[in-house]
């Protein structure tokens, strides 16, 4: 990726637009797209609801057609951007890992880099889970005013449609099928691994193996293959830059469509009325816990471990954060994350290519935190007080399942099913009335699933990028250093 020219930071515009016109920096364009999308989505949602309320038969025909048409256009813009990102993932992940391993050479570099990376992933995920655990226990949003759990003695049949939706989103997956994620680490067929959207672990393992043996293949053919991989990588990066230019419009479309849809979900619903305060407090706990990890833990690591300026890193990562927020998918955001970490934060190709694809798949701090908060909340709702040993089980399961969660929207719902099943299997007899399953309370999570997914995905992506900076620094690089030319925007 090329180094971009310095911006005029005082005016907030880049001074070097070819036509002589001042160019607005990318991160400001993206932020504008995000805000515009939120406003348009809100207006669309409110308009749709108002016209439906004025005419319960479904609103006036003209209003229906116009709002549906606008929604479809915005949705299409968002989808085109998302498809563009997805298109890049497979070639980018495979070529960047192969080249990173080749650049590490024959020495002990791969093991050293791998060890540091995994240590960072495990450490920060554990930290995130503990933040969530402390806050959810302190606030206890699942416990009602009288001290009883929100769902104790409630008729859960009102949530049947939500449970069906959870089952649809998790596709009936539970512990045994979740283990298939780890089985997929060694794919029997590399082409089917590449076509399994969001599940990159198998592809990463194959790319690591190819890189490892390619560097040991001291033949002309091997060297030609390295050149070919490099060429594919360069082409992929050029396409990434084109897609990134469309980010402001794509993000606007994605956010507008999401907000309009979410507006309808949050419309007053008799089923949730009695639980509104509890669900609201739960969402707030999740957001505050994610905020603490994002705004306290991460900058402290940048400051004291990597010894770089956290503000500079937030600024460098702004496009990736906005993309993660609007797509709710860390896999789809990966091309943008790599571009930002390499070009804007100044981490080497070798470290970026190794740490980020792995991170997008196995390092999910926000997801791990959310899984823990959500599982403890559901237990509180059923009046189940978890002992220290049971909370430990939740922490360990959240840590392990977050590794296997795919980087796609709503993926952590499967992991929450796994955690709740593990907890239920370890409850003393009589803790729950006969036939009551903890997973049947998961309908409550759906109200705010999308906005919380957007927040946790941004945290997942940011933690990956901090990991890249930490590892780069430990390898003697100078990311975000003043000695480098300033980043664009």
List, in order, residues 6 or more apart from 256 with CB less than 8 Å away.
36, 37, 38, 40, 41, 44, 74, 78
> In the complex, what is the shortest distance from the CB of residue 330 to ligand ASP, in angstroms, rounded to a whole number?
3
Per CB under 6 A, the list member of 51, 367, 390, 440 interacting with ligand ASP is 367
> In the complex, what is the shortest distance from the CB of residue 239 to ligand ASP, in angstroms, rounded to a whole number?
22
| Whole-number Å distance between alpha carbons of 231 and 444 | 49
Residue 272: strand pairing partners: none
Per CB under 6 A, the list member of 357, 407, 486, 489 interacting with ligand ASP is 407
User: Are 316 and 344 a contacting pair, CB within 8 Å?
Assistant: yes
Q: For residue 463, state whether it binds ligand ASP (rule: CB under 6 A).
A: no
- Of the listed pieces 133-141, 172-180, 244-252, 452-460, which binds ligand ASP according to CB under 6 A? 452-460
User: Are 217 and 1 a contacting pair, CB within 8 Å?
Assistant: no
> In the complex, what is the shortest distance from the CB of residue 212 to ligand ASP, in angstroms, rounded to a whole number?
28
| Whole-number Å distance between alpha carbons of 407 and 385 | 31
Residues of span 33-92 touching ligand ASP by CB under 6 A: none
User: Are 477 and 307 a contacting pair, CB within 8 Å?
Assistant: no
CA 464 to chain CA mean position, Å: 10
> In the complex, what is the shortest distance from the CB of residue 86 to ligand ASP, in angstroms, rounded to a whole number?
12
Q: For residue 408, state whether it binds ligand ASP (rule: CB under 6 A).
A: yes
Q: Considering beta carbons, is residue 333 or 352 the nearer one to ligand ASP?
A: 333
- ∠ CA 446-260-75 to the nearest 5 degrees? 105
> In the complex, what is the shortest distance from the CB of residue 66 to ligand ASP, in angstroms, rounded to a whole number?
32
Q: For residue 409, state whether it binds ligand ASP (rule: CB under 6 A).
A: yes
> In the complex, what is the shortest distance from the CB of residue 88 to ligand ASP, in angstroms, rounded to a whole number?
16
- Of the listed pieces 107-115, 334-342, 391-399, 456-464, which binds ligand ASP according to CB under 6 A? 456-464
Q: Going residue by residue from 412 to 451, which x/- string records binding to ligand ASP, judged by CB under 6 A?
A: x---------------------------------------
Total number of residues binding ligand ASP (CB under 6 A)? 16
List, in order, residues 6 or more apart from 237 with CB less than 8 Å away.
1, 92, 339
Per CB under 6 A, the list member of 67, 348, 440, 460 interacting with ligand ASP is 460
User: Are 371 and 415 a contacting pair, CB within 8 Å?
Assistant: yes
Residue 143: strand pairing partners: 149
User: Are 401 and 371 a contacting pair, CB within 8 Å?
Assistant: yes
| Whole-number Å distance between alpha carbons of 293 and 314 | 14
Q: Going residue by residue from 377 to 406, which x/- string records binding to ligand ASP, judged by CB under 6 A?
A: ----------------------------x-
Give, for 259, the enclosing helix (H) or strand (E).
Answer: helix 247-265
Helix axes 310-327, 330-339, angle to 10 degrees: 150
Q: Which residue has the tokens 């000695």?
A: 483
> In the complex, what is the shortest distance from the CB of residue 80 to ligand ASP, in angstroms, rounded to a whole number?
20
Q: Considering beta carbons, is residue 180 or 426 the nearer one to ligand ASP?
A: 180
Other beta carbons less than 10 A from residue 358's beta carbon: 24
Per CB under 6 A, the list member of 456, 464, 470, 486 interacting with ligand ASP is 456
| Whole-number Å distance between alpha carbons of 400 and 375 | 14
Q: Would you give the DSSP letter of residue 304?
A: I
Per CB under 6 A, the list member of 131, 249, 256, 364 interacting with ligand ASP is 364
> In the complex, what is the shortest distance from the CB of residue 262 to ligand ASP, in angstroms, rounded to a whole number?
15
Q: For residue 163, state whether it binds ligand ASP (rule: CB under 6 A).
A: no
Per CB under 6 A, the list member of 453, 468, 479, 489 interacting with ligand ASP is 453
Q: For residue 457, state whether it binds ligand ASP (rule: CB under 6 A).
A: yes
Q: Which residue intervals of 270-343 are DSSP H helices?
A: 270-273, 276-292, 298-300, 310-327, 330-339
Q: Going residue by residue from 315 to 344, which x/- string records binding to ligand ASP, judged by CB under 6 A?
A: -------------xxx--------------
> In the complex, what is the shortest distance from the CB of residue 325 to ligand ASP, in angstroms, rounded to a whole number?
11
Q: Considering beta carbons, is residue 4 or 465 the nearer one to ligand ASP?
A: 465
Q: Considering beta carbons, is residue 339 or 453 the nearer one to ligand ASP?
A: 453
> In the complex, what is the shortest distance from the CB of residue 408 to ligand ASP, in angstroms, rounded to a whole number?
6
List, in order, residues 6 or more apart from 196 with CB less than 8 Å away.
184, 202
Q: Considering beta carbons, is residue 133 or 480 the nearer one to ligand ASP?
A: 133
Residues across the chain: 489
Closest CA to 211 of 349, 359, 110, 358: 110
Which residue ranges make up the site for ligand ASP (CB under 6 A)? Answer: 328-330, 364, 367, 405, 407-412, 453, 456-457, 460
């Amino acid at each position: 990726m090329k180094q971009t020219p310095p911006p005029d930071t005082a005016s907030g515009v880049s001074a070097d637009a070819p036509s002589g016109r001042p160019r607005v920096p990318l991160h400001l364009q993206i932020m504008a797209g995000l805000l515009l999308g939120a406003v348009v989505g809100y207006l669309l949602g409110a308009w749709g609801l108002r016209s439906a309320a004025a005419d319960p038969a479904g609103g006036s025909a003209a209003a229906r057609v116009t709002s549906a048409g606008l929604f479809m256009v915005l949705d299409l813009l968002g989808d085109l951007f998302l498809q563009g990102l997805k298109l890049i993932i497979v070639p980018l992940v495979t070529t960047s890992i192969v080249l990173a391993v080749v650049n590490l050479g024959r020495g002990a570099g791969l093991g050293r880099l791998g060890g540091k990376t995994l240590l960072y992933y495990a450490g920060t995920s554990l930290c995130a889970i503990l933040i969530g655990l402390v806050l959810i226990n302190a606030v206890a949003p699942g416990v009602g005013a009288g001290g009883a759990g929100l769902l104790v003695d409630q008729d859960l049949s009102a949530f049947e449609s939500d449970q069906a939706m959870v089952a649809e989103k998790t596709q009936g997956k539970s512990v045994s099928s979740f283990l298939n994620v780890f089985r997929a680490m060694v794919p029997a067929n590399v082409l089917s691994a590449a076509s399994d959207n969001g599940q990159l672990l198998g592809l990463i393992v194959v790319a690591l193996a190819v890189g490892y043996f390619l560097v040991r293949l001291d033949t002309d053919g091997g060297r030609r293959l390295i050149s070919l991989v490099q060429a594919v990588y360069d082409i992929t990066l050029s396409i990434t830059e084109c897609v990134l230019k469309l980010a402001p419009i794509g993000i606007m479309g994605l956010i507008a469509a999401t907000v309009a849809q979410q507006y309808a979900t949050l419309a007053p619903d008799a089923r949730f009325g009695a639980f509104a305060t509890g669900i609201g407090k739960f969402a707030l706990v999740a957001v505050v816990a994610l905020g603490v990890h994002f705004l306290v833990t991460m900058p402290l690591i940048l400051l004291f471990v990597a010894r770089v300026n956290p503000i500079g890193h937030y600024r460098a990562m702004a496009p990736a954060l906005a993309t993660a927020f609007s797509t709710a998918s860390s896999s789809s955001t990966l091309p943008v994350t790599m571009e930002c970490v390499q070009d804007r934060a100044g981490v080497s190709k070798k470290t970026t290519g190794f740490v980020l694809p792995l991170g997008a798949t196995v390092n999910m701090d926000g997801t791990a935190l959310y899984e823990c908060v959500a599982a403890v909340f559901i237990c509180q709702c059923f009046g189940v007080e978890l002992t220290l040993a049971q909370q430990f089980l939740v922490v360990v399961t959240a840590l392990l399942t977050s590794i296997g969660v795919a980087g796609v929207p709503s993926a952590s719902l499967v992991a929450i099913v796994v955690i709740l099943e593990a907890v239920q299997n370890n409850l003393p007899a009589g803790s729950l009335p006969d036939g009551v399953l903890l997973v049947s309370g998961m309908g409550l999570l759906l109200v705010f699933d999308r906005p919380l997914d957007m927040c946790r995905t941004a945290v997942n992506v940011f933690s990956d990028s901090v990991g890249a900076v930490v590892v780069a620094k430990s390898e003697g690089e100078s990311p975000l250093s003043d000695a480098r030319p300033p980043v664009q925007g």
